Structure 1
Amino acid sequence: MHNRFPLILLLAGIFLFICVHPARAQEIRANVSVVAQQVQGVDKKIFTTLQNSIREFLNNRHWANDAFTPAERIECNFLLNITGTSGPDTYKGTLTIQATRPVFNSGYVTSLLNIQDPNIVFRYVEFQQLEFSDTRIVGNDPLASNLTAVLAYYVNIILGLDYDSFAPRGGDMYYKKALNIVNNAPDGKDISGWKAFEGNRNRYWLQDNLLNAKFLQFHDVMYQYHRLGLDVMYDDVAKGRAAILNCLNMLYSIHQDIPNSMLMQTFYSAKGEELLKIFSKATPQEKSRAAELLSQMDIPNAQKYQQMK
């Protein structure tokens, strides 16, 4: 008994530690693809190694403070299409990012983000460690750091949108982290996408819109669309659809103040096809109202919405 007593204390301590500090699953479950069919004169094995490194960087890192169960991990796709080189070990291309959220009581997943970033340039030497620090984003080599800064930026945008969809203003912390990356982003003659003057559709403008008081209602929309709309539709389709129509009215008030914003474009890129399906079986009045609003706000797809009437 004398010998077992310290062991009992040790086991009790371990049990208490586990209760107080539950094991945390990572927040992101990212599928990563690196495509480099257009690149000539480079050993293609490098891109397989890069793909594995990006997957480990995204999936093995803790990005949030909350504990996520494996079932709660956010499903994402990151497709890096390398289109060429711009110097020794330096590549350029586009990054397509998609993220989804499960809908309550159903096997359905809804798109949170579906975006393509055309401003990707980075330096990568095979087997180099992909590193990122919130406090030292530029690192020792801005071109090498640009890749991890871009990836971390989009993870925070995804987390923000996901948290917004579960709680009012739930994503603010992550949008602020994205802002911190923008403010301290790598700089260089080939690096772009981080600054306001470089265009009206880039990383700067997306986080700016998400934190801008003029878009305050957007965060209410994200919560109501998902929690009062989609998550309710399993039990009451009409009630859920009515909440989503109310969200369109809220979005229209934003659109009237700030037409053609990047945030609205990003929302409809993720939700356009879904909205068509939601209102395809609505009442004639709801269908007509949805078509009227959507065709004014999402002009590239106006014809599709008009056909709902």
Structure 2
Amino acid sequence: MRKTFFLLILGLCSHLLVQAQELRATVSVVANQIGTAVDRKVFVTLQNQITEFLNNRRWTEDSYSQGERIDCNFLLNVTQSVGNNTYKASLTVQATRPVFNASYTTSVMNTMDNNVTFKYVEFQQLEFNENRIGGNDALVSNLTATLAYYVYIILGMDYDSFSLRGGDPYFKKAQVITNNAPDGKDIAGWKAFEGNRNRYWLQDNILNSKYSRFHEAMYLYHRQGLDVMYDDPAKGRASINNALQLLLAIHEDTPNTMLLATFFTAKSDELLKIFSQAPPQEKQRASAMLQRMDVPNAQKYAQLK
């Protein structure tokens, strides 16, 4: 009887291990700019529901152990109440990936989306249907569509960092969301004509064959670069340098793409640390490349000279 009980518990634990979801998301909903007209409990409830939505939903068909879940942060900053339970907000999304043989984690995603308008009534279910993304109410669906979009971008970036073009299936899911996104006069961020830094352009750049070298750069940077630096720092830096050469080719073809801006937002501080340990000539080459590609952080990279 005891053996049977032990095997039953072991089987249940194994099942839970296999069924672990993909994300370990920390969610914060802040509403410091909203007056007392809205009960603050609404945002606490929303934070809890978003946490459950992100962490308890299966986003892939792969099996994840608890230790393999992707650490990420979602910060929803509610900036305005426009009435009828409708809010305007910004969304900051960050995700990290562990580096092999190290306690260090590297940022694979760090972006802010300033165009999140949504409707939320406390305790309403957060629903997302990939076959009917617009739902019954576009403003209600816009929140979950936006969250799901960034989940798939995170998954794509993570998979790309472990295998060449491994993220394609998830980037394509983000594209499907974009193409079928909720639509309305108060909803923005899903269309090309709404600006050159939005959800449309990020997924467009990622899947555009013109920028296909980005995927090779992601693999070189992480799997053949960071992951080997514990055993061979020079070899790891060489792969990261090769990744930067690929990104430079993209920059020379099309300067100021959202894709490269997103990459360097996540990587600028890390790149400075990586090449600060390089020989002088290698530092100078890296500094020159980085200053050309990442103008907002040019002064930072000038320290490498």
Aligned to 1:43: 39
Aligned to 1:273: 269
Q: Shift in Å at residue 166 of structure 1? A: 0.3
Q: How many residues align?
A: 299
- Name which one, 1 or 2, has greater alpha-carbon Rg: 1
Q: Which residue, 165, 173, 178 being the options, matches 1:169? A: 165
Aligned to 1:254: 250
Summarize the Cα distance change of 1:292–1:144 in structure 2 as closer, same or farther, 3 Å threshold. Answer: same
Output the amino acid matched with 1:133. Answer: N
| CA distance, structure 2, for counterparts of residue 260 and residue 225 of structure 1 | 20
Output the amino acid matched with 1:59. Answer: N
8 Å CA contact 2:49–2:126 kept in 1: the answer is: yes
| CA distance, structure 1, for counterparts of residue 17 and residue 296 of structure 2 | 47
1:144 paired with 2:153, answer no
Q: Shift in Å at residue 23 of structure 1? A: 2.6
Q: Deviations over 1:208-251 (max 9, x none)?
A: 00000011000001111001000000101111011101111111
Aligned to 2:99: 103
Output the amino acid matched with 1:196. Answer: A
| CA distance, structure 1, for counterparts of residue 273 and residue 286 of structure 2 | 12
Q: Deviations over 1:182-222 (max 9, x none)?
A: 00000000000000000000000000000000110000011
1:191 paired with 2:179, answer no
- Please give the secondary structure, in 2, of the residue aligned with 1:98: strand
Output the amino acid matched with 1:56. Answer: E
Output the amino acid matched with 1:27. Answer: E
Q: Shift in Å at residue 87 of structure 1? A: 2.2
Summarize the Cα distance change of 1:78–1:20 in structure 2 as closer, same or farther, 3 Å threshold. Answer: closer
Q: Which residue, 14, 18, 23 being the options, matches 1:23? A: 18
Q: Deviations over 1:16-73 (max 9, x none)?
A: x998997321000000000001111100000000000000000000001110110010
TM-score, normalised to structure 2's length?
0.95
Q: Deviations over 1:258-300 (max 9, x none)?
A: 1000000000000000000000010111100000000000001
Output the amino acid matched with 1:214. Answer: K
Aligned to 2:125: 129
Output the amino acid matched with 2:240. Answer: I
| CA distance, structure 1, for counterparts of residue 111 and residue 18 of structure 2 | 32
> Which ranges of structure 1 fall in alignment gaps of 5 or more residues?
none
Summarize the Cα distance change of 1:20–1:73 in structure 2 as closer, same or farther, 3 Å threshold. Answer: closer
Q: Which residue, 205, 217, 221 being the options, matches 2:217? A: 221
| CA distance, structure 2, for counterparts of residue 303 and residue 187 of structure 1 | 41
Q: Output the aligned Cα RMSD.
A: 1.8
| CA distance, structure 2, for counterparts of residue 22 and residue 268 of structure 1 | 35
Output the amino acid matched with 2:304. Answer: M
1:66 paired with 2:62, answer yes
TM-score, normalised to structure 1's length?
0.94
- Please give the secondary structure, in 2, of the residue aligned with 1:189: coil
Q: Which residue, 291, 295, 298 being the options, matches 2:291? A: 295
Dislocated runs of 4+, deviation >4 Å? 17-22
| CA distance, structure 2, for counterparts of residue 265 and residue 222 of structure 1 | 14
| CA distance, structure 1, for counterparts of residue 216 and residue 245 of structure 2 | 12
Summarize the Cα distance change of 1:19–1:90 in structure 2 as closer, same or farther, 3 Å threshold. Answer: closer
Output the amino acid matched with 1:99. Answer: A
| CA distance, structure 2, for counterparts of residue 32 and residue 44 of structure 1 | 16
State the percentage of identical aligned residues: 64
- Please give the secondary structure, in 2, of the residue aligned with 1:63: coil
- Please give the secondary structure, in 1, of the residue aligned with 2:225: helix
| CA distance, structure 2, for counterparts of residue 23 and residue 236 of structure 1 | 34
Q: Deviations over 1:139-182 (max 9, x none)?
A: 11100000000000000000000000000000000000000000
Aligned to 1:155: 151
8 Å CA contact 2:18–2:64 kept in 1: the answer is: no
1:57 paired with 2:53, answer yes
